[in-house]
Amino acid sequence: MKRVVAQDLEFNGQKLRKGDNLVLFYCSANRDESIFEDPFTFRVDRSPNPHLGFGIGEHFCIGSHLARASQRALLRELVSRIDSIELAGEPEQIESSFVVGLKKLPLRYRVSQAA
Ligand code: HEM
């Protein structure tokens, strides 16, 4: 993601000039140690969790509600159909400066008898 500076300004001691290109790294903001305790640990119960995974401001993700609803539906179904789930190998990150996520996540799970 990128923004173009609209007017000369100073931000956090950095002089920015009108027309400068800025690259946004939301994934880096989500690991800001001045905001998050233990920022490199995935904690599903982190609260409050002021992450910027869907951006911020006027370009905030228009699909965030759909994304959240579909993830919730997926996890709800998964949890109702399995008894246990565990890592079965080393996770592998996607190597990209644009998309942050996992390329591989080997899992072993036990399907519940009721499913
Ligand atoms: C987990 C899934 C998703 C993530 C992590 C995500 C993340 C983001 C982020 C970080 C931005 C801000 C971009 C910026 O600051 O320039 C954004 C914008 C946007 N997203 Fe998503 N998104 C997701 C799902 C979706 C879905 C499902 C849709 C559409 C159905 C969608 C449509 C858009 C659009 C159209 C924008 C641009 C909004 C604008 O510039 O005004 N996204 N998204």
pLDDT tens, N- to C-terminus, the chain (115 residues): 899 999 999 999 999 999 999 999 898 999 999 999 999 999 989 999 999 999 999 999 999 999 999 999 999 999 999 999 999 999 999 998 788 889 999 999 999 987 6
CA distances from 41 to 44, 46, 89 (A): 9, 10, 18
- Looking at the domain assignment, is residue 35 inside a domain? yes
* Residue 109, in any domain of the structure: no
Strand partners, 102: 93
Could you tell me if residue 88 is inside a domain? Answer: no
Provide the residue range defining the domain that includes 29. Answer: 1-61
55 lines ligand 1 (CB under 6 A): yes
**C-alpha 40: how far from chain center:** 12
101 lines ligand 1 (CB under 6 A): no
Domains of the chain: total: 1
Whether 67 maps to a domain, the answer reads no
Q: Decide if 18 is inside a domain.
A: yes
Does the CB atom of residue 63 touch ligand 1 within 6 A? yes
C-beta of 56 in contact with ligand 1 (< 6 A): no
Is 104 contained in some domain?
no
22 within domain boundaries: yes
- Residue 79 belongs to a domain: no
User: What is the identity of the amino acid at 3?
Assistant: R
**Hey, which of 61, 64, 100 would you mutate to test ligand 1's pocket, going by the most ligand atoms within 8 Å of its Cβ?**
61
